[in-house]
Amino acid sequence: MTTTQPPTNACPQKIQRAGRHQLMRIRTITELSLLWDDSSASTNATASTDAGSSSNQSNNSTPSIHIPQQPMPLNPYHTAPPPSLPARLITNLLSWILPNQAPPPPPQNNPPHSDNNTTDLPTEIRIPQIEQPPEPLNLQTLLTSPTDNVHWGDMMITPKPFNTFRVLARNVNTMSTANDYLSWKAAAHAIETSEADAFAFQETNLAWNKIHRKRIHRIFQSPHHNPVISTSSSAEISTSSHQRGGTLQAIIGDWSSRSVQIGQDASGLGRWSFIELQGKEDYRYIILSGYRVCENQTVDPGSNNTFNQQYRLLHYQGQRNPDPRAQFIEDIITLIQEWRSQHKAVLINIDANDNAQLPGNRGIARLFAETDLRDLHSLRYPDTIRPPTYN
């Protein structure tokens, strides 16, 4: 008859062996821990105690494993204490780093009438003066009182009457580009105030190029319309922006959309510039700005005035003894006759340097004799003597 023991006491040696294996694994992990960890010593001690207790419970015939403890090295992550410096060196370093401290002021005795428990308040408050910024440069002097400006002819009415096309014409005798085109900005303000639709400048004394035209175009530009500008200057090369002579004709405002053509003196003398407008039923209008040189000029090959510029250019074109004043009348009459043959209305604004009221067929009077143009001043005020336009 066979008897079977209960499973709890079947393999007591296997349990002890398992305990030994577990003990060996604990010891192995303990030895593989970080050498600079302070907890390693306590862990080893605990492991040894556990080993001793486990070995007493196990079979006495089973040998125990003993791992000697090794001395623990220093922790490399612990900051080393700073080296001690001599006291004299520390004193010198502090004297270099810290500013010199003045000795405290001696205590002041309170006046007999003041109370020690109250704080003295200032009797006045001083406000520092604020420095005024310097006045901006390039400002024109304002007129403090109205000046006498006696007009000749009709008085300019503002606001401008309905169905009125207003043209301003003047010999400006140099329009400078200095100070960021300050002269042109002032002219633009005056023209806007007068509500002009077109303006003509003579003797601008500017060597016209793309840079100047673009800049002046921007000055006269409005939020709703772009101006139309036509310019002329001598074909002679100028080393600076200043060049004697020259003209400008411009259309601004609503009428700028009516422009169909711009032009200038085809001879290269820079004597005039014009703009052609288109009206209803394809009716054409031409507005011209021109400048005729002064009389009694002396031929000087080294001079750069307007007369000598035109004299040299005409001589280069083949004329042996050129006369710029007479050539101006000759060429503009031919141009006006061509336009009138095309049924185009012509309005010229010129500084002729001549008296249009003198009789005869010479000078500016010849222009009225050989064309159908009329002098508006003489037509409006036939019996009134004109004042000089330039003194």
At residue 22, the pLDDT reads 47
Confidence at 49, pLDDT banded by 50, 70, 90 = very low
Q: Residue 73 and residue 40: Cα distance in Å, rounded?
A: 11
**pLDDT of 203 above 80:** yes
**pLDDT of 377 above 50:** yes
**pLDDT of 368 above 70:** yes
Is the Cα dihedral 24, 28, 31, 37 positive or negative? negative
At residue 118, the pLDDT reads 56
Angle at 52 between CA 46 and CA 58, to 5 degrees: 135
Indicate the angle between helix axes 39-57 and 12-31, nearest 10 degrees: 170
At residue 99, the pLDDT reads 58
Within a 10 A sphere around the Cβ of 259, how many other Cβ atoms? Answer: 19
At residue 72, the pLDDT reads 61
Highest mean pLDDT among 8-22, 71-85, 232-246: 232-246
CA 5 to chain centre: 106
- Look at residue 367 and give its three-state secondary structure: helix
The encoded tokens of residue 138 equal 């390039």
Q: Residue 374 and residue 384: Cα distance in Å, rounded?
A: 16
Outline where the chain has alpha helix (H).
Answer: 12-31, 39-57, 87-97, 178-194, 210-219, 306-316, 324-341, 364-370, 376-380
At residue 150, the pLDDT reads 73
At residue 215, the pLDDT reads 95
Taking 3-state DSSP, the helix, strand and coil percentages for the chain, each rounded to the nearest 5, stand at 35, 15, 55
Confidence at 131, pLDDT banded by 50, 70, 90 = confident
Confidence at 51, pLDDT banded by 50, 70, 90 = very low
At residue 186, the pLDDT reads 94
**pLDDT of 28 above 60:** no
Mean local confidence (pLDDT), 1-28: 46
Q: Which residues contact 243 (CB under 8 A, 6 or more apart)?
A: 205, 206, 207, 233, 234, 236, 304
Tens digit of pLDDT for each residue in 136-165?
A: 665 666 666 666 667 778 888 889 999 999
Q: Residue 267 and residue 322: Cα distance in Å, rounded?
A: 14
**pLDDT of 120 above 80:** no
**pLDDT of 293 above 60:** yes
Within a 10 A sphere around the Cβ of 176, how many other Cβ atoms? Answer: 15
More confident position, 71 or 31: 71
CA 335 to chain centre: 44
Mean local confidence (pLDDT), 63-75: 59
Mean local confidence (pLDDT), 31-52: 46
- Look at residue 230 and give its three-state secondary structure: strand
Confidence at 314, pLDDT banded by 50, 70, 90 = very high
- Look at residue 66 and give its three-state secondary structure: coil
| Closest by CA position to 153, among listed 314, 380, 332, 349 | 380
At residue 35, the pLDDT reads 46
Q: How many residues does the chain have?
A: 391
Work out the percent of the chain whose per-residue pLDDT is above 90.
48
Domains in the chain, start-ordered, CATH in brackets? 167-380 (3.60.10)
| Closest by CA position to 258, among listed 235, 276, 237 | 276
At residue 43, the pLDDT reads 46
Tens digit of pLDDT for each residue in 331-366?
A: 999 999 999 999 999 999 999 999 888 877 888 999
At residue 32, the pLDDT reads 44
Q: Residue 309 and residue 193: Cα distance in Å, rounded?
A: 36
Confidence at 107, pLDDT banded by 50, 70, 90 = low
At residue 292, the pLDDT reads 96
Confidence at 81, pLDDT banded by 50, 70, 90 = low
Mean local confidence (pLDDT), 72-78: 60
Mean local confidence (pLDDT), 157-181: 92
**pLDDT of 291 above 60:** yes
